Amino acid sequence: MLDSEICKDLSARLGGAPIGVCEGEDGALLAALSGGGTGLVFTKYSKDCAAYIFADAENADVAVSCGKPYIVISDAADAEKRYGCTCVAPAEYSDEWLSSLLKALAGEFPLLTIGVDIPEWMRFLPKENSAVCELLAKVREVSSGICKIKHVPQLSALTEGTKYWSPEIKIRVDFSSGCAVAECGAKDGIFFEMLSEIAGDNIDGEYTLMRYVRSASEAKKGYAKVRDALDCARVNGYGIVSPAEEDLSYEQPQVVRQGSSVGIKLKASAPTYHVIRVDVSGEVSPIMGDSSQSESLVKSMMSGFETDPEQTWNTDVFGRSLRCMVQEGLASKVSTISEDTRTKLRKAITRMANEGKGGVICIIL
């Protein structure tokens, strides 16, 4: 009985299409394969077949250009190099040998996709993370030489010589879909190292992890209060952080008399935060050498801007990039608003919020 798993895989991949057998006049190989209880369809060589087994090496040259999976039965020393496929040495038509033929043919089918499965916690790492970059570099290196099912074992080299990945890899192959998945695990002890890299802080154990989580939780709660205001400021130019219940300060109730009527006055106050988007512009106009030198440099920068704008901003002038110069110009403009002016602006907005009815106060400084 032929290998049932190999036959099942080939049947699923071929979808009922026949395997062509090219041999001599006796047809012994075709008869042996057809009578092996494989569930596969074997026929004489024709262009309509989905895969081929060439028993006559002299006629196998046509297989090189057929564009379909094929194997050659040959014991020549240079057979595999010559035909570009797996070659099986001729032998007696036993079930074991026939199964080896089908296994070799299965290995010649193209591998369509390669998947890499990593631990769930590592899927949150950014693409610039050192462990992710290391694995991606190995994937590019190893996968460049993989194009057929028979090359799948080469995936075991994905983590060889790596710093962050375990050398043990589990490889799964779905032959019917032509997909291989390599399951890669992280080396022991790198969890805290990855946390430290993401957090920008030293996390080397449970104590430092809990300390960081608590700090991050408090920062998250603080940011949640201003997040909506920042979003509004980005879109509309103005955002307000509404006071939370814990921010309220209650004053002592007061009795109010109006003629014969008696009432009570309740008053509370709370800080609110107003986020204003102010669009600041900045520019730099460095003068570099004489007229001819400046014109030459400007032309070079303008031509570079059309092809790679980011690189133009990184142009070094007087030891600093143009990007850095513009950023410094923007920062200096923002800092020109004096403390006294900020105080007056805050008082004006406070008055508008408490006393205004939608009017506008003009402040002349």
Side-chain half-sphere of 89: how many Cα atoms within 13 Å? 5
Kindly indicate the confidence band of residue 27, based on its pLDDT and cuts at 50, 70 and 90.
confident
**Can you tell me the distance from the alpha carbon of 325 to that of 329, in angstroms, rounded to the nearest whole number?**
6
Q: What is the DSSP letter of 266?
A: -
Instruction: Give yes or no for residue 253 having a pLDDT over 90.
Output: no
Domain ranges of the chain: 4-107, 113-194, 291-334
pLDDT value of position 354: 77
Task: Tell me what percent of the residues of the chain surpass a pLDDT of 90.
Answer: 28
Q: How far is CA 258 from CA 224, 252, 265, 266, 284, in A?
A: 44, 19, 12, 16, 66
* H or E stretch covering 325: helix 322-334
pLDDT interval class at 325 (50, 70, 90)? confident
The pairs formed by 26-30 with CB atoms below 8 angstroms and a separation of 24 or more are: 28/93, 29/53, 29/55, 29/73, 29/93
- Per-residue pLDDT of 173-221, as tens digits, reads 988 888 999 999 999 888 888 888 888 888 888 899 899 899 888 888 8
pLDDT(72) > 60: yes
Give the dihedral sign, CA 206/208/214/219.
Answer: negative
List of residues 6+ apart from 338 with CB closer than 8 A: none
Q: Could you tell me the pLDDT band of residue 110, with boundaries at 50, 70 and 90?
A: very high
Q: Could you tell me if 87 and 53 are in contact, meaning their C-beta atoms sit under 8 angstroms apart?
A: no
Q: Is the dihedral of CA 346, 352, 358, 359 positive or negative?
A: negative
Report the chain's mean pLDDT, rounded to a whole number: 82
> What DSSP state is assigned to residue 65?
G
- How far apart (Å, rounded) are the C-alpha atoms in residues 298 and 131? 41
Highest mean pLDDT among 54-58, 105-109, 199-203: 105-109
Query: Of 59, 58, 14, 21, which Cα lies nearest the Cα of 40?
Result: 14
Residue 20 pLDDT > 60, yes or no?
Answer: yes
User: What is the predicted pLDDT for the residue at 181?
Assistant: 95
pLDDT in tens, 331-348: 777 777 788 888 888 888
* Cα-only R_g, the chain: 37
In eight-state DSSP terms, residue 275 is E
pLDDT given at position 65: 65
The residue type of 334 is: V
Confidence of residue 316 (pLDDT cuts 50, 70, 90): low
Give the C-alpha separation, 112 to 141, whole Å.
17
Closest-CA residue to 240 (of 227, 251, 222, 250):
227
Q: Tokens at residue 251, please?
A: 């004053």
Which amino acid would we find at residue 311? Q
- Measuring CA to CA, which residue among 159, 169, 108, 104 is closest to residue 137? 159
Between CA 42 and CA 45 the distance in angstroms is: 9
CATH classification number, 4-107, choose in 3.40.50, 2.40.50, 3.30.420, 2.20.28: 3.40.50
Which residue matches tokens 């006071």?
Answer: 243
The string of pLDDT tens digits covering residues 265-313 is 877 878 888 888 887 776 666 655 566 656 666 666 666 666 666 666 6
Partners of 240 in the beta sheet? Answer: 274
* pLDDT tens, residue by residue, 147-176: 999 999 999 999 999 999 999 999 999 888
Q: Are 63 and 70 in contact (CB under 8 A)?
A: yes
Q: Which residue type sits at 252? A: Q
Give CA–CA dist 52/19, Å, rounded: 6
Q: Residue 359: which pLDDT band, with cuts at 50, 70 and 90?
A: low
Which pLDDT does position 111 carry in this prediction?
93
Torsion-angle region of residue 334: left (phi > 0), alpha (psi -120 to 50) or beta?
alpha
Residue 350 CA: distances (Å) to CA of 265, 296, 363: 22, 55, 13
Tokens of residue 233, six digits: 């400021």
Tally of CA atoms within 13 A in the half-sphere of 297 that contains its CB? 13
Model confidence pLDDT, tens digit, residues 114-128: 999 999 999 888 888
Q: Is the pLDDT of residue 105 over 70?
A: yes
